[in-house]
Amino acid sequence: MKQKQHGVILLLFVAFLFTGRTTMSVAQVTFKATAPATVVEGEQFRLSYVLNKEGRDIRLPDMSDFDLLFGPSTSTSYSQRTVNGKTTSESSVTYTYILVAKKTGSFTIPAASITIDGSNYQSNTLQVNVLPPDKNSSQGTTPGGRQQNEGASAGGGTVSARDAFIRAIVSKNSLYEQEGFTVTFRLYTTLNVVNFGKIQFPEFEGFMVEEIPLPVNQQLQMERYNDKNYYTADLRKTLLFPQRSGQMTIPAGNIEMVFSVPSGRSVSTFFGSQEVMVDVKKNLTTNPLAINVKPLPAGKPASYANAVGTFTLNSSVSSEKIKANEALTFTLEISGTGNMKLIRNPEIAFPDNFELYDPTVNNALNVTTNGLTGIRKISYMAIPRYEGNYTIPSMEFTYFDPGTSRYKTLTTPAYQLQITKGDPGSAASGTFVNRQDVKVEQDIRFLKTGDPIYLSRSDFFVGSFMYWLWYLLPLIVLISYYVINRKQARENANVALMRTKKANRTAAKRLKTAGKYLREHNKEMFYDEVLRALWGYFSDKLSIPLARLSKNNIESELSKQGVSEELAGRFMQILDICEFARYAPAESDAGMDRLYQDTVEAIGAMENKLRKRVR
């Protein structure tokens, strides 16, 4: 019995070893080269090759632009762990070389090769940028224990403007309205950074803002600026979309930082004389930026959707053959790079007897240095109510391409729909109530219980006050109805007056609500309520349903009513500001108050214009 147990244990141990060995054998070989992206001519740097398995006969590439001072220095690491009975092992071998760049420029280190289990493997190539050394300098200590120039170091416990500063760098300083560009706040320093204090970046009023994520653990990079080498790190990178044309300014920001600098004193230690370092707080101010924003060219097509960038358009319909009263989905996919969040939803010309619903928008976007990249998916749901053959006509989508400074138009194909007779019993066909006659049996009545009511024999209803009142009441109601109906008919005859009353009452109520949000500094609700007031005002004033209302037909109807282009333009500008402000950073209270007053004055001017026309 013991021999059998020992045999089972031995079998399990062999299986365990076999499992661990199998896990190691299927590991994929990796051979990776690493080196600093930027170095200084004449200064040493490390070139490392990391291999996840034992190898032999490593061969370096031809590196005629660099001097090999030392190498290879070999180090090995090994780890093993067991999770849920499964054992995995990891090992790595690092080969390190010390190099010195001979001259300035951009150079490529070709791939190295190594032999593993009889197979040859190659590493990746590296690109190294070599900067010239600072003039009239000797070696000292820089951030992270690197070497720096003594002429660049701070002394006497102070930090000069050349020791550390922050730049605000823009990718473009002349661009079109709604065109994206980046602002990078970059730290330049020759000192050790100890800590960050109060950070106050500038506001971006008048821009839609998207933050570009930065790596959590950034490595300092070398960069040459004004004939001096600095270690740099990006503190913030922001994607901006200007919402108006003209000269725009990004004001200065302030950042407090603590640096470790030489105090100018030294102390004697067992290892010799050492310089005393002190912590110094320095307030760094970013440089203000002036941006020239050009207006979009004149002659915008009617199908322009406030899109600036480069885009493609795809469309689809859920089905081209469905039953009446069943839902149909028309989908637009706008993909590309640009101001994706500010694109207006195109209008689809569905047949008249289709019941339409508000479109739903889904954005799958990534923030890049060139703009918002991804797909904007717009779904339109409609329900055909009658059978027959219908057509969803071709739709145009126009955008402005800043690369070519031209408007470009994309079109969708037309869709032929075949609507068959719907099922009356389906839930989508509507709500119907099946009625049936209710029969009441009156052969047997319930006996009345309780105290009886006695009437006097001398009391007669005929000739009493209630008797004559029953005659007078219908006559009074009839006369009142006639008078009220005549008055209502006269008021209804003046269609312009009735529409004006309704439009004014609704707009005034919503603007009053917007004023409350203005006092509460509730930016989002304020702009939404102003938009509702304007769209509702035009719907009532121009007798256009909200589902059919757009900026194009508003301008057309106002032109027919004799409204000046200047007044119509004021309304279009207010609508644009409200739509854009929902995505831009918080506007100042003065800007919101100015927009509120402009809206009230524009509606008042419109009422005066139409009232004079009616008279």
pLDDT score for 452: 72
Inside any domain, residue 471: no
- Reduced DSSP (H G I as helix, E B as strand, rest coil) percent helix, strand, coil of the chain, to 5: 25, 40, 35
Q: Select the more confidently predicted residue: 482 or 238.
A: 238
**228, burial (CB in 10 Å: exposed 0-12, middle 13-18, buried 19+):** middle
Q: Which of these, 88, 112, 93, lies nearest to 52 by C-alpha position?
A: 93
Give me the CATH number covering residue 591. Answer: 1.20.120
Pick the more confident residue, 270 or 567.
567
pLDDT digits (tens, 9 = 90+) for 20-76: 443 444 458 888 898 888 888 888 888 999 988 777 788 888 888 898 888 788 888
Measured CA to CA, the distance from residue 368 to residue 212 in angstroms comes to 7
- Residue 404 CB coordination number (10 Å): 9
Higher-scoring residue by pLDDT: 409, 30 = 409
Q: Three-class SS string for 46-99?
A: EEEEEECCCCEEEECCCCCCEEEEEEEEEEEEEEEEEECCEEEEEEEEEEEEEE
Q: Is 39:45 a contact under the CB 8 Å cutoff?
A: yes
Angle between helices 523-542 and 495-519 (to 10 degrees): 180
Highest mean pLDDT among 45-59, 220-234, 385-399: 385-399
Contact (Cβ atoms closer than 8 angstroms) between residue 323 and residue 291 = no
Q: Which of 294, 318, 336 is the last residue of a domain?
A: 294
* CATH number of the domain to which 21 belongs: 2.60.40.10
Query: Does residue 469 lie in a domain region?
Result: no
pLDDT number for residue 612: 61
- Of the candidate ranges 264-268, 344-348, 608-612, the one whose mean pLDDT is the lowest: 608-612
Confidence of residue 8 (pLDDT cuts 50, 70, 90): very low
Backbone angles phi, psi at 263, to 5 degrees: -90, -10
Domain membership of residue 9 as a residue range? 2-131
For residue 485, tell me if it sits in a domain: no
Alpha carbon 242 to chain centroid distance? Answer: 15
Mean pLDDT value across residues 386-403: 94
* SS3 letters across 554-571: HHHHHHHCCCCHHHHHHH
432 burial (CB, 10 Å; 0-12 / 13-18 / 19+) is: exposed
pLDDT tens, residue by residue, 305-319: 999 999 999 999 999
User: pLDDT, tens digit, for every residue of 254-277?
Assistant: 888 888 888 777 777 777 777 778
- Range 276-295 average pLDDT: 88
Q: What percent of the chain has pLDDT over 70?
A: 80
Q: What pLDDT shows up at residue 583?
A: 64
Q: What is the pLDDT of residues 531-549, one digit of tens each?
A: 888 878 877 777 777 667 7
Look at residue 445 in the predicted model and tell me its pLDDT.
56
Model-level pTM?
0.57
The whole-number pLDDT of residue 384 equals: 93
The secondary element (H helix, E strand) that includes residue 145 is none
Name the residue among 355, 302, 306, 354 with its Cα closest to residue 553: 302
Handedness of CA 230, 231, 236, 240 (dihedral sign): positive
Domains: count for the chain: 4
Residue at a domain's end among 62, 97, 131: 131
Pairing of strands 207-211, 139-141: unpaired
Predicted local distance difference test score (pLDDT) of residue 142 = 45
**For residue 512, what pLDDT is reported?**
82
pLDDT of residue 455: 65
The pLDDT assigned to 15 comes to 42
Q: Do 585 and 520 reside in the same domain of the chain?
A: yes
pLDDT range class, residue 18, cuts 50, 70, 90: very low
- Distance from C-alpha of 453 to C-alpha of 139, rounded to nearest angstrom: 122
Question: Do 259 and 146 belong together in one domain?
Answer: yes
**Do both 114 and 231 map to the same domain?**
no
Can you read off the two tokens belonging to residue 84? 């849920």
Are residues 95 and 163 both part of a single domain? no
CA distance 188 to 164: 5
Question: 279 and 148, same structural domain?
Answer: yes
Mean pLDDT over the full length of the chain: 79
**455 lies in some domain:** no
Instruction: Give per-residue pLDDT as tens, 472-506.
Output: 888 888 888 888 877 776 655 555 556 556 777 77
